[in-house]
Amino acid sequence: MATISIEHASKSFGSTKVLKDISLDVKDGEFLVLLGASGCGKSTLLNIIAGLEPMADGTIRLDGEVVNDVHPKNRDIAMVFQSYALYPNMTVERNIAFGLEMRKISKAERKATVREVASTLQIEHLLSRKPSQLSGGQRQRVAMGRALVRRPKIFLFDEPLSNLDAKLRGEMRTEIKKLHQTLKATMVYVTHDQIEAMTLADRIAIMKDGEIQQIGTPQEIYSKPANMYVAGFVGAPPMNFVEVDLVKREEQLGAILPAVLKGEPVDHFLPLPNSKHLEARENTKVILGLRPEIITDSTSTHSSAPEIECDVEFLEPTGADTLCIIRLNGHPAKARVSPLFACPPGESMRFTLDTHRACLFDPTTEQAIT
Amino acid sequence: MSHPQQRKQQMSVLDRLQRYLPQLVVAPPFLLLVFFVYGFIAWTGIISLTNSRMLPTFDVQGIQQYVRLLAMDRWNVAFDNLLIFGSLYILFSITIGCVLAVLLDQRIRAEGALRTIYLYPMAISFIVTGTAWKWILNPSLGIESYMQKLGWESFQFDWIVNRDMAIYVVVIAAVWQASGFVMALFLSALRTVDEDIIRAAHLDGASTTRIYFGIILPSLRPVFLSAFVILAHLSIKSFDLVVALTNGGPGYSSTLPANFMYEMAFRRNQIGLGAASAMMMLATVAAIIVPYLYSELRAKRHG
Amino acid sequence: MAEPKTLPGANGKRHLLGRLFIWTLLLAAAVLYLGPIYVVLSTSLKDLAEIRAGALLDLPHELNFTAWREAWSSACIGVRCEGLRPYFLNSVIMSVPSVAISTLIGALSGYALSLFRFRGANIIFALMLFGCFIPFQIVILPMAQTLGFLGVANSITGLIVVHTIYGISFTTLFFRNYYVSVPQELVRAATMDGAGFFRIFWHIMLPLSVPIIVVSVIWQFTQVWNEFLFGASFTSGGSQPVTVALNNLINSTTSVKQYNVDMAAALIAAAPTLVVYIIAGRFFVRGLTAGAVKG
C-alpha cells in the first residue's frame, strides 16, 4: 500500500513561483508521469515528494499520513536521478549497498540483497567496478539497482533516461515498464519526453508554469486535450491549429476553412457533428485543432467524412507515412497520408477530414470547448 | 526493508539538528573571521583616532593622526611610490605575462618546461627574491661591475643606491616574480578559447596576429580584469620585497605605505600614526576590491 | 572540402622565420627568469676571493660547499651563531599545524557553504572573499595585543594561531568553489540513502577532494613558509621563522659581508617551497588561479 496525496502545494524561488497551489493524488501501484518542458516545476514537485525540498505551503500525505516534516530517509522512498548520481569513489557493489549500510543492515544481508538485485538487472559482472568504468546504460542500471535494493514503497524517477541514446532509451523504457508490473510499486516519473510519458504512464499529469494543466490516461490526454498547451505538447508532429469562423449553412453548424487551390484562395465549409453545444458560438471565431492523421488521403478512410481539395507545398516522407504540408488560413499545416497516394509538391490533392476527432478551442482562454 | 515504525515518528531531534548543521559548522570559522578581520579593522580604526604612541590607548581624540599623516613627506613619498610602483608593476606584469602566454600558445614543444621556468619565482618568498636581486644589482660586485670588466666601461646600473631610481628596482624584482603568474592566468584562459572560432577566422583569411588582436585577446577581458585586481592588491600589500631589497632606502626614497606603517608602529612608537596609515591602505584596497567583488557576485547570481 | 591539417601560414619560409622569432623570445625570457637563481647558486658555491674578483656571471672554479655548511649551522644571526637551522625548524613547526588545521576547517566550512544554500550564505561568502584581500597591516596592531592577552606573544604557537586564522578564508573558498562543482544530485542521492551531513562529507565528499586538498595544502604551505610580516611583527630572537632570520642575516652590518653564505642561506630558505613547486607545479598553479577564476 502506498498512496501519495498532495494538497495545495506551493513553492517559490525568490520572486518566481515554481509551484502554484498543486493538488495531486497518486493511487497505490500507479505509474504517474509528470510531463512538461524544463522549468515547469515537475522536478521540484518530485523533490517535494522525496522530502529533499521543503514546501512553502501545502500538505503531503503518504498512505494518508502527513509527512511534511518527515526526513527523506524515513519516507521509504527511493529515487533515480538524471545524472545517475553514482558515488564516484565507491564500487558498484558499495554504491548499491550504501543505503543499506546507512540503515545499519548487516554486511552479510547487504551482500545477499545486492546480489539478488544485481541478478535482476543483469549487472552481476560489474559489481567490483567503479562508476567511471561503466557505460551510460550500465550506470543507469546501477542507479536503478540502488533504488531497488531497499525495496521501497515508492519509486521516484527524475528524467532517468535523458542521458541515454535513442536505442538504449527504448530498451530501458521497456525494462522500467516490466519492473513496474512485477513490483507493483507506486512510481512517479518526471520527463519532458512525451513518448516516454505516453508509453510508460498509467496517468500523465502535464505541467506548465507551476500548474497542472491536465491529468488523465495517455489516451485521454492525446484525444481530449484540456487546452491548446496540452494539445500542442503531446503528439508528434504536433496538432495543427487553424482559426476558423463558425457559421450555419442549411441548418448545419460548421467551420469555414480557408485553404489554397491552384494558387487561388478557396473557402471550404466543414460541417461539425454533434455541435449542439456550439450553437451559442455561431458567427464567432474558434480554434480548430486537427492532428495530422485527421487530415488524410480520401482513399484511405470511409467516404462519409468531408473532403477538401488543396495545393500541397512540400512533402516530408517519414517512411510509414508521408506528411503533406498544405496551407490552412495562411499558415502551414501537416497532413498525414499514405506514401502511395502522396501527390508531387506543387500539385493539388483531395483530403478527408475526420471531423469527429477534431478539437475546438476558445481563442481567448485557449481552453477546449466542451 | 521498510520500517513502518519509523514512519510514525515525526522528525526526530537529531533530524532537526541535521537541518541546522551547515550553519553550526560554518558559525565558528565565520565568527573567527568576523572578529579577527572585521573586529580588528574596527579596532585599528579606533587606535587611529587616538594619540597612541608606544602602547595602544583607547582615548579617542579625533582625526589628527590622519591630518599629520597627510602632511608628512615620508608618507607622501610612500604613497607616490605606491602609485609609480603599482602602475608599472601591473603594466609590465600583464604585458609580459600576456606576450609569453600568447607565444607559448603556438604549439611549442617544450611548453611544460618553459612554463615551469617562467612560474617558479612565484614559489619563492619576497625576502629571497629581494636578497637575490640586491646581490645582482649591487654596484660594486654585481652586474654593473661585471659588464664594466667585460669591457663595456660606460655601463652604469646603480639604481639600487640611487635616490630617484631605487623604486624602479623594486618594480624589476616584483615583475620578475609576478609576470609568470600572469602568464599562467592567460594561458589557461587561452586554452578555453573555442578552436572552431580560430579555424573559422583562418578560413575567412585572417592572419594569426589579426586573430589574436581582433578576436582572442578581446574575449579575455575578464582575465585582464582579474589580473589587474590581483596585482593591484598585491602592490598595496607589498612590504617584504622592499625590506629585503632596499630596506626603503636610500633614505626613505623607496618606502611603500606598508613599510611606512611597520616603521611607525614597531620602530618609532607612533602606533596611532601607524594605525592611520593602515586604514589608508585598507581604503585603497577596498576601493579596488569592493566594486570588483560586487560585480562578480552579482554577475554570478544573475548568471 | 579538405580540412587544413595545420593552420594557414604553417608552410614555407615565413613560417620558419616566425617560429625562429617565437623561440628566440621564449628562450630569452627563460634566460632572464633563470638568471637570478643561477647567480645566487653560483655565488653560493664560490669562495669570497672569487666573489670579490667580480665575475658575477661566471661559473665557480670549483664546487665549494663551505658557505652552505656555514649558512646552515654556524652563521651569526643577531647574537646567535647557529646558522639558519633553528629558524628553519621553527618554520617547519609553524607550517605543519597551521596548514593542517586551516585545511581541515576550510574543507568542512567550504562544504557547508557550498551545498546548503541557507539564507546569508552569499553574505558570508562575500565577507570571506574580502578577508582574502585585506592588507595584513590592518590587523597587526590588534593581533599583537590579542596574542599578548592569550599569552602566546613572541612564540611559534602565536604564529600558528595567526596563520591558521588568516588561512581559513582561503581554504574555505578553495573548498567551497570545488564543492559547488560537485553535482547536487550526489548529495541528494546520499540523503535519500539515509546519510546525514557528516556522513555525506566523510563517505562522499572527502574521497572526491584529493585534488583540492593538495591545492589547499600547497597554497597554505607556500603562504605560511614565505610569510614575513607576521613573523617580523610577532616574534623576536629564537622564535623567528626562517624568512625573518634570513633577512636579519642579509641586512646585518656587523661583520664582513659573506655573500656566498647569504646566497646559500637564501637558497636554503627557498628550498622547501621550490621543491614543492617542482614536484606539484600543476596544483600550485591551480591554487594561484583559484582566486581569480570564478567559482
Q: Quick one: closest CA in A to C207, which residue?
A: A89
Retrieve residue B238's grid coordinates. Answer: 607589498
Q: Is the model's pLDDT at B5 over the cut of 90?
A: no
Residue C287 vs residue A190, higher pLDDT: A190
Q: Are residues C103 and C218 in the same domain?
A: yes
How many Cβ pairs within 8 Å bridge chains A and B?
31
Q: Are residues C23 and C55 in the same domain?
A: yes
CB contact under 8 A, A100 and B10: no
CB contact under 8 A, C137 and B278: yes
Q: Quote the DSSP letter at residue A281.
A: G
Q: How far is C96 from chain B (nearest CA, A)?
A: 17
Q: What is the 3-state secondary structure (H, E, C) of A101-159?
A: HHCCCCHHHHHHHHHHHHHHHCCHHHCCCCHHHCCHHHHHHHHHHHHHCCCCCEEEEEC
Looking at the partner chain, which of C189, C194, C203 has a beta carbon nearest the beta carbon of A85? C189
Question: Is the Cβ of C232 closer than 8 Å to some Cβ of chain B?
Answer: yes
pLDDT at C290: 59
A250: region left, alpha or beta (phi > 0 left; psi from -120 to 50 alpha): left
CB contact under 8 A, C293 and B44: no
Q: Are residues C49 and C105 in the same domain?
A: no
Q: How many CB atoms lie within 10 A of CB A8?
A: 13
Q: Are residues C40 and C93 in the same domain?
A: no
- The answer to whether the beta carbons of residues C114 and C172 sit under 8 Å apart is no
pLDDT at C255: 67
pLDDT at B295: 82
Residue B300 vs residue C14, higher pLDDT: C14
CA-closest candidate to residue C143, choices C112, C164, C128? C164
- The answer to whether the beta carbons of residues A187 and B37 sit under 8 Å apart is no
Question: Is the Cβ of B121 closer than 8 Å to some Cβ of chain C?
Answer: yes
Q: What is the pLDDT of residues B270-279, one digit of tens each?
A: 888 999 999 9
pLDDT at B54: 79
Looking at the partner chain, which of B36, B127, B275 has a beta carbon nearest the beta carbon of C247? B127
Question: Is the Cβ of C295 closer than 8 Å to some Cβ of chain B?
Answer: yes
Q: What is the dihedral of CA C195, C197, C202, C206, to 10 degrees?
A: 120
In a domain, C70, yes or no: no
| Residue written as grid cell 636554503 | C268
Q: Which domains does chain B have, with CATH numbers?
A: 73-302 (1.10.3720.10)
Question: Who's near A116: CB < 8 A, 6+ residues apart?
Answer: none
What is the rounded CA–CA span in Å between residue A321 and residue A316?
9
pLDDT at A5: 93
CB contact under 8 A, B11 and A69: yes
| Residue written as grid cell 637575490 | B132
CB contact under 8 A, B243 and C247: yes
CATH number of the domain located at residue range(s) A240-361 in this protein: 2.40.50.140
In a domain, C235, yes or no: yes
- At position B227, the amino acid (one-letter code) is A
Question: Is the Cβ of B2 closer than 8 Å to some Cβ of chain A?
Answer: yes
Measured in whole angstroms, how far is the alpha carbon of residue B67 from the centre of its chain? 28
Residues of chain C positioned with their CB less than 8 A from the CB of B188: 285, 289, 293
Q: How far is C190 from chain A (nearest CA, A)?
A: 8
**What is the average pLDDT score of chain A?**
90
Q: What is the dihedral of CA A113, A116, A120, A121, to 10 degrees?
A: 60
In a domain, C58, yes or no: yes
Q: Which chains neighbour A (Cβ–Cβ under 8 Å, 3 or more pairs)?
A: B, C
Q: Is the model's pLDDT at B196 over the cut of 60?
A: yes
Q: Are residues C27 and C171 in the same domain?
A: no
What is the rounded CA–CA span in Å between residue B210 and residue B202?
10
Q: Quick one: closest CA in B to C235, which residue?
A: B266
Q: Which chains neighbour C (Cβ–Cβ under 8 Å, 3 or more pairs)?
A: A, B
Retrieve residue C119's grid coordinates. Answer: 539564507
Longest dimension (CA), chain C: 79
Residue B194 vs residue A24, higher pLDDT: A24
The confidence band for B230, taking pLDDT boundaries of 50, 70 and 90, is confident
Q: What is the pLDDT of residues A197-227, one digit of tens each?
A: 999 999 999 999 999 999 999 999 999 999 9
**What is the average pLDDT score of chain B?**
85
Residues of chain B positioned with their CB less than 8 A from the CB of A113: 1
Whether the bond into A332 is cis, omega within 30 of 0? no
Q: Is the model's pLDDT at B298 over the cut of 90?
A: no
Q: Quick one: closest CA in B to A63, which residue?
A: B7
3-class DSSP state for residue A187? strand
Is C295 exposed, middle or buried, given 0-12, 13-18 or 19+ CB atoms closer than 10 A? middle
Retrieve residue B20's grid coordinates. Answer: 541546522
Q: Are residues C169 and C270 in the same domain?
A: yes
Q: Are residues C229 and C154 in the same domain?
A: yes
Q: How far is A315 from chain C (nearest CA, A)?
A: 30
Question: Is the Cβ of B105 closer than 8 Å to some Cβ of chain C?
Answer: no
Residues of chain B positioned with their CB less than 8 A from the CB of C33: 117-118, 120-121, 176, 180
Can you give the residue range of the structural domain that contains C25?
12-64
Question: Is the Cβ of C86 closer than 8 Å to some Cβ of chain B?
Answer: no
- At position A169, the amino acid (one-letter code) is R
Q: What is the pLDDT of residues B119-138, one digit of tens each?
A: 889 889 999 999 899 888 88
ipTM over 0.95: no
CB contact under 8 A, B10 and A151: no
Q: Are residues C60 and C197 in the same domain?
A: no
Q: What is the pLDDT of residues B30-46, one digit of tens each?
A: 899 999 999 999 999 99
Q: Are residues C93 and C208 in the same domain?
A: yes
pLDDT at B4: 43
Q: Please give the C-alpha separations between residue A136 and each of A299, B161, B191, C71, C189, in angstroms, as whole numbers.
A: 46, 68, 28, 60, 18
We report the CATH number of the domain holding residue C204 as 1.10.3720.10
In a domain, C220, yes or no: yes
In a domain, C249, yes or no: yes
What is the rounded CA–CA span in Å between residue C241 and residue C73?
15
Give residue limits of the domains in chain A. 4-233, 240-361
Q: What is the 3-state secondary structure (H, E, C) of C151-165?
A: CCCCCHHHHHHHHHH
Q: Quick one: closest CA in B to A62, which residue?
A: B7
What is the rounded CA–CA span in Å between residue A281 and residue A248?
10
User: Average pLDDT in the A13-30 region?
Assistant: 90
Retrieve residue A370's grid coordinates. Answer: 466542451
Question: Is the Cβ of C43 closer than 8 Å to some Cβ of chain B?
Answer: yes
Residues of chain C positioned with their CB less than 8 A from the CB of A86: 189
Q: How far is C188 from chain A (nearest CA, A)?
A: 7
pLDDT at A94: 93
Least confident range from A48-62, A165-179, C69-83, C170-184: namely C69-83
- List the end-to-end C-alpha distance of chain B, in Å, as a whole number: 43
Q: Are residues C32 and C135 in the same domain?
A: no
What is the rounded CA–CA span in Å between residue C50 and residue C43?
9
Q: Is the model's pLDDT at A10 over the cut of 80?
A: yes
Q: Are residues C146 and C32 in the same domain?
A: no
In a domain, C166, yes or no: yes
Q: Is the model's pLDDT at B198 over the cut of 70?
A: yes
Least confident range from A6-20, B155-169, C157-171: namely B155-169
Domain tally, chain C: 2
3-class DSSP state for residue A303? coil
In a domain, C1, yes or no: no
- The answer to whether the beta carbons of residues A25 and A7 sit under 8 Å apart is no
What is the rounded CA–CA span in Å between residue B292 and residue C28?
35
Q: Quick one: closest CA in C to A78, which residue?
A: C192
CB contact under 8 A, A52 and C191: yes
- List the end-to-end C-alpha distance of chain A, in Å, as a whole number: 36
Question: Is the Cβ of B185 closer than 8 Å to some Cβ of chain C?
Answer: yes
Q: How far is C174 from chain B (nearest CA, A)?
A: 15
Average pLDDT, 10 consecutive residues per value, chain C (295 residues): 43 79 91 90 83 76 82 81 88 95 94 76 82 90 91 90 92 88 89 89 91 89 92 88 90 75 90 89 69 42
The confidence band for A303, taking pLDDT boundaries of 50, 70 and 90, is low
Dihedral sign, Cα of residue C200, residue C206, residue C211, residue C215: positive
Q: Is the model's pLDDT at A48 over the cut of 60?
A: yes
Q: What is the pLDDT of residues B166-193, one digit of tens each?
A: 889 999 999 999 999 899 889 888 888 8
Q: Quote the DSSP letter at residue C80.
A: B
Residues of chain B positioned with their CB less than 8 A from the CB of A150: 1
Looking at the partner chain, which of A77, A83, A102 has a beta carbon nearest the beta carbon of C185? A83
Helix (H) / strand (E) element for C291: namely none
Dihedral sign, Cα of residue B146, residue B147, residue B152, residue B154: negative
Question: Who's near A77: CB < 8 A, 6+ residues apart?
Answer: A49, A50, A51, A62, A152, A153, A154, A155, A156, C192
Q: Are residues C102 and C18 in the same domain?
A: no
| B 58-77 residues inside an 8 A Cβ radius of C | none
Q: Which of the four CATH numbers 3.40.190.80, 3.40.50.2300, 3.40.50.720, 3.40.50.300 does domain A4-233 have?
A: 3.40.50.300
In a domain, C74, yes or no: no
